[in-house]
Chains A and B, each alone.
Chain A
């Protein structure tokens, strides 16, 4: 079945540092790829998405490029802020999850901590 692998962290950075959170996936077919963010005590929010190879998703200074050749969708931000502290989930949809399921398949999540 489909799977998503991402670094779990916690990842601790100083404010204004460059951020990369790696995400690789395994899927049949042509999945769409997503990054979700979860702030403490809240549900998940869609951060960005890409629906086909070489697409770049971007939002709030975050970017990720759908790389089919390396099956990756790494999240990047040039200068992080304390308010970016949260848990980030990489996810895919549209692959074959097995058992007839076609919901989102999530990675385990990366806890990001930004220190002032």
Chain B
């Protein structure tokens, strides 16, 4: 089975621009979560989607948004980029999203640099 794939792997943007990141989950997985990883704040939960619905959201401003398609693929969007948005963005998929009993499988991440 193919793992979680994320595109692009690297991205450079300038302040004020917007960016869209893509995640393809493992086949059959319906839950997709997004995390931001920075040296200062570590790994922080952004949001989780299940069957095209956002079920949970972390403590991030409204500039961060996402969506999930009927094939479970997910995108996240960051508008009006700030320098502090530079980070590794990780996507994880799970069969049903009950993380206590369903392992999350992580992709390699998208490295976003904001100049």
In the bound assembly, the distance between CA atoms of A44 and B6 in angstroms comes to: 13
B15 to chain A, nearest CB (A): 27
Interface residues of A, count at CB 8 A: 27
B59 at the interface (CB under 8 A from A): yes
In the bound assembly, the distance between CA atoms of A60 and B45 in angstroms comes to: 27
Which residues on the A side are within 8 Å of B43 (C-beta)? 89, 91, 104, 106, 109
Residue pair A105, B104 in contact (C-beta under 8 Å): no
Residue pair A44, B59 in contact (C-beta under 8 Å): no
A61 at the interface (CB under 8 A from B): no
Interface residues of chain B, those whose CB is within 8 Å of chain A, are 4, 33, 35, 42-48, 55-59, 90, 92, 99-101, 103-109
Residue pair A109, B42 in contact (C-beta under 8 Å): yes
Given A43-B4, A106-B42, A107-B42, A101 contacting B58 (CB threshold 8 A): yes
Among A32, A36, A104, the residue within 8 A (CB) of B45 is A104
B107 to chain A, nearest CB (A): 5
Residue pair A43, B59 in contact (C-beta under 8 Å): no
In the bound assembly, the distance between CA atoms of A46 and B104 in angstroms comes to: 8
Among B42, B59, B101, B108, the residue within 8 A (CB) of A51 is B101
B97 to chain A, nearest CB (A): 9
A93 at the interface (CB under 8 A from B): yes
Which residues on the B side are within 8 Å of A97 (C-beta)? 45, 58
In the bound assembly, the distance between CA atoms of A97 and B59 in angstroms comes to: 9
The residue of chain B having its C-beta at the shortest distance from the C-beta of A41 within the complex is B108
B contacts with A: majority SS: strand
In the bound assembly, the distance between CA atoms of A8 and B46 in angstroms comes to: 23
Which residues on the B side are within 8 Å of A10 (C-beta)? none
B34 to chain A, nearest CB (A): 9
Among B47, B48, B56, B106, the residue within 8 A (CB) of A44 is B106
Which residues on the B side are within 8 Å of A106 (C-beta)? 35, 42-44
A116 at the interface (CB under 8 A from B): no
Given A51-B101, A99-B57, A100-B56, A43 contacting B107 (CB threshold 8 A): yes
Interface centre among A42, A46, A104 (most CB of B within 10 A): A104
The residue of chain A having its C-beta at the shortest distance from the C-beta of B101 within the complex is A51
In the bound assembly, the distance between CA atoms of A106 and B100 in angstroms comes to: 14
